[in-house]
Structure 1
Amino acid sequence: MNPDKKTPQEQANYWLVLLSSPFASSEQRLAFEAWLAENPDNQAEWDKARAFWKKFDMLSDEQVALLDKRLSSAGRRRDLKSKRSLRGFFNPWSVPAFACLLLLVWVGIAAWPVWFADYRTAVGEQRSVQLSDGSTVLMNTDTALSVDFTATQRTVTLHGGEAYFKVAKDAERPFDVETDDGRVRALGTAFEVRQLGREMAVTVYEHAVRVVFSQGTTIEALREGELVAVNEGRVSKVVAVNRKQTQAWRDHRLVFRDLPLVQVVAELNRYRPGSIVIVNARLKQHRVTGVFDTREPDKALAVIENTLKLAVYRLPGSLVLLAAR
């Protein structure tokens, strides 16, 4: 038994994840059998865990049967073949190991700008930064940016995340915010830029900005109270926004008005470690309305659970699964 898992439910989660992976040893499988026989509560929680996995929309009948076969054979055989395959995997000249090495190098290179960013925030953190020209930046959760000021130019690179800029006037030095998907030039004082994956959004709170998207579209003047976004190279229409709603994150609030659950979950995932996953496709379009504190995303999750009457299953690594009851 894993000593870090106290309750039978936590222990069942632990064993389910471990035994469905290729890394469980024969000793661990025997330990699982001993744990299962310890008391009826263990068996009951184990049955619940397996039943829950069977409810997943993403698992086919064949996958469920394979999982059952793996788990039912736990502790009854020594899997020498698995051991041999693992030794082969860690052979430095094997194809899987070489592919993983290439993947690590690629991920590492892609992450270098973030690692060496001038300013960063952790998941769930907000940070206010005053720049050398007197401008201020409020960084939201999981955000990284770098600053490059010269005698003729002020450039901030937003590597990812979300930031609100209050720009100090300097007629001799333009103020630009660069992201993977475009460049924003301040024509006034206050605006917000958000870069999440392949989506970039710009919202203006005072005066105007000029937006040049990497795919070629230019908006000469995005004005106060307006938003424009690009997603996978497709630029949206310029729309008017409810500024109280869009700027709520600055006050540690998330405001949802009749939004689909999948969109709400995506936003909550930005503020907590691990991940929340909706396992039933039909749940994704359930509508949610509410105001939540970004500093307490699990409380928001509890409210949604009770309101929509969901089954919530917590696994190691802060993974949370949402399913229909």
Structure 2
Amino acid sequence: MGAQDSAALEREALAWLVRITDEDATAAERAALAAWQSQSPAHAAALERARGLWGALPPAIDGLLRSGALQPDGFVHRPAPRIGRRAFLGGAAAATAAAACYLVVRPPLELWPSLSELAADYRTGVGQRRDIVIADAVPVAMNTQTSIVLRPAMPGLDRFELIAGEAAIDATMLKGKAVRVIAGDGSATATAANFSVRCDGPATSVTCVAGNVRVAVADQEVMLGAGQQVVYRRGGLGAVTAVDPTVVTAWRSGYLMFRKEPLDRVIAEVNRYRPGRIVLLDATLGRGLVTARFKLDRLDDVMIQVHEVFGARVRNLPGGVVLIG
């Protein structure tokens, strides 16, 4: 199962928990949840992760556990690692070492950094931005939740790897050398350019703001000019598209800008900058288009506008978790 499918199941599991913890939840709804959970081990695992997050509401979860309605391995076809009641009520001592390792390597809903991100030479946390200089010559602006690992320089070439997040690179003043950003399954190289690289799981995007940037994946290569962007994955390079660099780099001025973007993409972007997690439970709502500009230090305005414009129900949970739909 891919990362997108897994994330979709996690959202479905959270939607089920919203319904099942309601005071008016019926026996039929509990039975429907049991049927949903039993569809596959992936469904059962998604429910486990959702219940761990839902541990922010101990009384509701405790009541369901006592009733036996949500036993972790009660409705799966094949045995799954059992996580006991104390584990998803916040008792860290009850969690197994294997489960702890899994949560570090693959954080649920990306609520904390992965192991590779924590081992980076430079890293920013949620909502943080940082300016660094690579090899005393290349200014790099790091966006939120960004991790960079330095790589040994080559003759005439400075290198670093973008593990996750987004970096804006100013290579306009380089003399007699180039800079290469390794990200995902490819790289971006420039000698006199201003560009940004963003790594989102399996997808990496490179945007040229000024100058020219050479983007390479395996045996494929493309040269970007100002105002152009390309996205690549393991399968190779996508098509070169025209973009507005002002929108792409708005974060450097303290803003997020959207122009006719689906709400689900807006929510995904906002989640990079704020603690906790906004979870969109209604897929239909997620297709609504948004044109807006939000200040990075006032991102709770997003929930206000979603409620006012789309009429969506907004439910705030502890830990910065917000359910919309």
- TM-score, reference length from structure 1: 0.68
Provide the rounded CA distance (Å) in 1 between the counterparts of 2:83 and 2:249. Answer: 50
Provide the rounded CA distance (Å) in 1 between the counterparts of 2:287 and 2:307. Answer: 15
Residue in structure 2 matching 1:182, options 177, 183, 186: 186
The equivalent residue for 1:100 is 99
Residue in structure 2 matching 1:160, options 160, 164, 188: 164
Structure 2 unmatched ranges of 5 or more: 1-13, 38-59, 75-81, 88-94, 108-112
Q: What is the aligned residue count?
A: 262
> For 1:192-203, what aligned pairs fall within 5 Å after superposition?
192-203=196-207
Once the 2 structures are TM-superposed, how far is the Cα of residue 98 of structure 1 from its aligned partner? 7.5
> For 1:117-196, what aligned pairs fall within 5 Å after superposition?
117-148=120-151, 150=153, 152=155, 153-167=157-171, 168-171=173-176, 173-196=177-200
Q: Per-residue displacement from partner, 1:277-316 (whole Å, max 9, x unpaired)?
A: 1112211111211110122211222222222121101122
Provide the rounded CA distance (Å) in 2 between the counterparts of 1:222 and 1:302. Answer: 38
Distance 1:256 1:99, change over 3 A: same
The equivalent residue for 1:308 is 310
> For 1:1-325, what aligned pairs fall within 5 Å after superposition?
50=22, 62-63=32-33, 71=63, 97=96, 100=99, 103=102, 111-148=114-151, 150=153, 152=155, 153-167=157-171, 168-171=173-176, 173-214=177-218, 216-219=219-222, 221-231=223-233, 233=235, 235-323=237-325
Could you tell me which amino acid in structure 2 is paired with residue 321 of structure 1?
L
Check conservation: 2:124, 2:147, Cα contact below 8 A.
Answer: yes
Once the 2 structures are TM-superposed, how far is the Cα of residue 48 of structure 1 from its aligned partner? 11
The equivalent residue for 1:30 is none
Provide the rounded CA distance (Å) in 2 between the counterparts of 1:241 and 1:294. Answer: 21
Counterpart of 2:266 in 1: which secondary structure? helix
Check conservation: 1:169, 1:189, Cα contact below 8 A.
Answer: no
Could you tell me which amino acid in structure 2 is paired with residue 246 of structure 1?
V
Provide the rounded CA distance (Å) in 2 between the counterparts of 1:159 and 1:118. Answer: 10
Once the 2 structures are TM-superposed, how far is the Cα of residue 170 of structure 1 from its aligned partner? 2.9
Once the 2 structures are TM-superposed, how far is the Cα of residue 75 of structure 1 from its aligned partner? 8.5
Counterpart of 2:204 in 1: which secondary structure? strand
Provide the rounded CA distance (Å) in 2 between the counterparts of 1:274 and 1:69. Answer: 19
Kindly report the root-mean-square deviation, in angstroms, between the aligned alpha carbons of the 2 structures. Answer: 4.0
Provide the rounded CA distance (Å) in 2 between the counterparts of 1:163 and 1:145. Answer: 9
Check conservation: 1:89, 1:97, Cα contact below 8 A.
Answer: no
Q: Per-residue displacement from partner, 1:81-110 (whole Å, max 9, x unpaired)?
A: x9xx878999xxxxx9575366368559x9
Provide the rounded CA distance (Å) in 1 between the counterparts of 2:151 and 2:117. Answer: 15
Moved more, 299-308 or 221-230: 299-308
Check conservation: 1:120, 1:145, Cα contact below 8 A.
Answer: yes
Counterpart of 1:141 in 2: which secondary structure? coil
- TM-score, reference length from structure 2: 0.68
Give identity over the alignment, percent: 28
Once the 2 structures are TM-superposed, how far is the Cα of residue 118 of structure 1 from its aligned partner? 1.9
Check conservation: 1:121, 1:139, Cα contact below 8 A.
Answer: yes
Could you tell me which amino acid in structure 2 is paired with residue 170 of structure 1?
K
Distance 1:317 1:151, change over 3 A: same
Distance 1:195 1:52, change over 3 A: farther
Moved more, 251-260 or 59-68: 59-68
Once the 2 structures are TM-superposed, how far is the Cα of residue 154 of structure 1 from its aligned partner? 0.7
Provide the rounded CA distance (Å) in 1 between the counterparts of 2:233 and 2:293. Answer: 26
Distance 1:233 1:174, change over 3 A: same
